[in-house]
Amino acid sequence: MKKLFFENCTKNIKKEILSKWYDKIYQLYTSENRHYHSLVHVQSLLNLYQEYQSLIENKQVMILSIFFHDVIYDPKKGDNEEKSNEVFQQFASETNLNQTVITKVSEYILATKRKKLFNSNQSLNDENHYENDLKLFLDFDWSILGSDEQTYEQYSKAVRLEYNHLGELYKQKRLAFLGIALQKLTNDKLYLTDFGKKQFLKNSIKNVQNEIKVLSD
């Protein structure tokens, strides 16, 4: 993980700056409230990056987006993406990153707020205008839904722990989320690339249906 951060996400940046920021990122992702949105999640996206990097046009943007998109995460707050972007902007201010890269990474981080749209069932039509790398990044972020049965079970348990503060309300809110997710999946509106649909759609429908059944029993 550290090697990918040092070798791929930056160019001509002093090693001491990279070391300082890697340590900060590490600390944030390993805080005690992290169960799903942790380094395990980051590593899973990095694994997808390494396996399918031939599909990625701007690897620097992708790597930075993976590391910073959930760097701030408080399940009780609704501005995690904006706060994560602020941290990325702080990092960028200490580097000589190209402004185009900075703009794109910010766009990618803020685009993960699409998850909030599920809670209100708003339209995701704007995603049709996303560039392919951004669509791929979002498909990577949703890939957990299409994982194998054991990994998905670990994911659902981790999400439950992150939202432990909801108490009895958790089941109701999770079922609402899963219901909308299933609707998006069955209408082929969740994954944005042919790659994502081929790799994750079938298992995603199965996993979400199974979790709905478990929570409904």
Write out residues in the chain with pLDDT < 70, as ranges: 9-12, 114-128
Residues 6+ apart with CB under 8 A from 41: 70, 144
pLDDT of residue 13: 79
Residue 134 lies in a domain: no
Is 105 found in the same domain as 1?
yes
- pLDDT score recorded for residue 123: 45
Among 99, 98, 90, 95, smallest CA distance to 6 is for: 95
Give the Cα-Cα-Cα angle 65, 70, 75 (nearest 5 degrees).
160
Q: Per the structure, how many domains does the chain have? A: 2
Give pTM, 2 decimals.
0.92
Instruction: Write out the residue range of the structural domain in which residue 162 sits.
Output: 144-217
In a domain, 54, yes or no: yes
- CB-based contact 71:88 (threshold 8 Å): yes
What are the residues whose beta carbons fall under 8 Å from the beta carbon of 18, sequence distance 6 or more? 5, 6, 10
- Sequence-distant (6+) residues with CB within 8 A of 217 are none
Boundary (domain end) residue, out of 95, 111, 127:
111
The C-alpha atoms of residue 11 and residue 133 are separated, in whole angstroms, by 20
What's CA 209's distance to the chain center, in Å? 21
The string of pLDDT tens digits covering residues 189-201 is 999 999 999 999 9
Choosing from 111, 136, 169, the residue where a domain stops is 111
The pLDDT of residue 4 is 84
pLDDT of residue 129: 77
Check residue 15 and give its pLDDT.
Answer: 85
Q: Examine the domain organization and report whether 106 and 156 are in the same domain.
A: no
